[in-house]
Amino acid sequence: MKCTDRFYPSINDFRNFFSRDRDRIIHCSSFRRLEYKTQVFINHEGDYFRTRLTHSLEVSQIARTIAKEIGLNESLSEAIALAHDLGHTPFGHVGGDELNHLIKEKYSKNGFEHNFQSFRVVTKLEKRYKNFDGLNLTFATLEGILKHSYPYKKPFLTSWYDEVFDLDKHPSLEAMVVDKADEIAYISADIDDGIKYKLIDFKTLKSSSLVSEIIEEVKKDGLEDENDKLFRYRFSSLLIAKLVISLIENSKSKNLDTSKILCKTIPADEPVLIDYDKELNKKIKELKKILFNKLYKHPKILRKMYAGKECIKNLFIALNEEPKLMPEDFYKRCEKEKVYRVVADFIAGMSDRYAMKLYHEIFGITI
């Protein structure tokens, strides 16, 4: 298929192919529900924590900037960025991990995977047309959602996916841009949120050489007090800028002939063309390790995530035992589809607050 092809006929208007994709994603209900889905921190614990929605917007902004500077298609990167987290469950990664465990334990070795769930959302679960399911997005947008940045050989994908999406290849360069923009957005945002809510501090983060470098840059701006919110703001801004600039400059050094590239893909055995320089890559890995051990494993986060995991677990068990607890449209799907798969779709589409509300209604317990 051509990168601009769709599986079904589509309107033609003043927008380009990928701008239509972007608009269809923004106006779908799954996108709106991201507002109340956890990124890392349970959003009702603080008014300013990033959610899946704000994260997706930040990824989109960063991806557009990078794509434009490298000479790639901005609208395609934007569409992929806005849709890349549509398949995430409530309560962040722990919710998806728990669903994956529950399905594999009792029902299917294929489990649950959020990339594929995002693909299911835009091709099956969203209903916007009378004669077919999904949002009718272009091939390139679907490929970017499915693969993210690397070849996507998964045991649960049938031969059809391999034939259509060439799973042995990397996705488009625009999808690679989104993958790096995702990394830049969550690293900077998690540090910002973690410091704001006193779950981590700059003293701890200084063991990262990258953080130390950025702190020195902030101080050159005349800011000395690390507890000052302006210090934190400047730190986030300069960190994002450093990563984005490195990514752009290093990717440009590959001498891409972007004048002839539209949704270019490369074989799996070839090096990824969108990347930071080697030294910065090492520093980012070092920083991510610190965040994993000192922030993501913080007792306050682990307690909330454990509660979320228990919520997912008990809802999954209850809804499989009694599918009529689900809304009618989901219950009717159980007549033709495997119940556990329908239940997984239902739970994955929930916001945090809806999951907690339903848990309370069924079990009479507030978490």
**Hey, what domains does the chain have and what are their CATH numbers?**
17-300 (1.10.3210.10), 301-363 (no CATH)
Read off the tokens for 84: 């890349």
Transcribe 70-108 into DSSP letters: HT--HHHHHHHHHHTTTT--TTHHHHHHHHHHHHHHHT-
- CA pseudo-torsion sign 232, 233, 236, 239: negative
In whole angstroms, what is the distance from residue 241 CA to residue 23 CA?
Answer: 28
Number of other residues whose CB lies within 10 A of the CB of residue 143: 27
Instruction: Indicate the pLDDT class of residue 252, thresholds 50, 70 and 90.
Output: confident
Mapped onto helix, strand or coil, the DSSP state of residue 51 is strand
pTM above 0.85, yes or no: yes
Residue with the bigger pLDDT between 32 and 263: it is 32
In whole angstroms, what is the distance from residue 172 CA to residue 148 CA?
Answer: 9
Whether residue 262 is predicted with pLDDT greater than 70 in this model: the reply is no
The answer to which of 148-157, 185-194, 252-261 has the lowest mean pLDDT is 252-261
Whether residue 137 is predicted with pLDDT greater than 60 in this model: the reply is yes
- Asked if residues 286 and 279 have their Cβ atoms less than 8 Å apart, the reply is no
In whole angstroms, what is the distance from residue 283 CA to residue 66 CA?
Answer: 20
- CA pseudo-torsion sign 186, 256, 252, 210: positive
Read off the tokens for 185: 């957005």
The answer to which of 14-28, 156-170, 341-355 has the lowest mean pLDDT is 156-170
Compute the mean pLDDT over every residue in the chain, rounded to the nearest whole number. Answer: 90
Which residue type sits at 70?
I
Q: What is the pLDDT of residues 263-273, one digit of tens each?
A: 767 777 777 78
Residues 6 or more apart whose CB falls under 8 angstroms from that of 344 comprise 99, 103, 112, 316
In whole angstroms, what is the distance from residue 226 CA to residue 239 CA?
Answer: 15
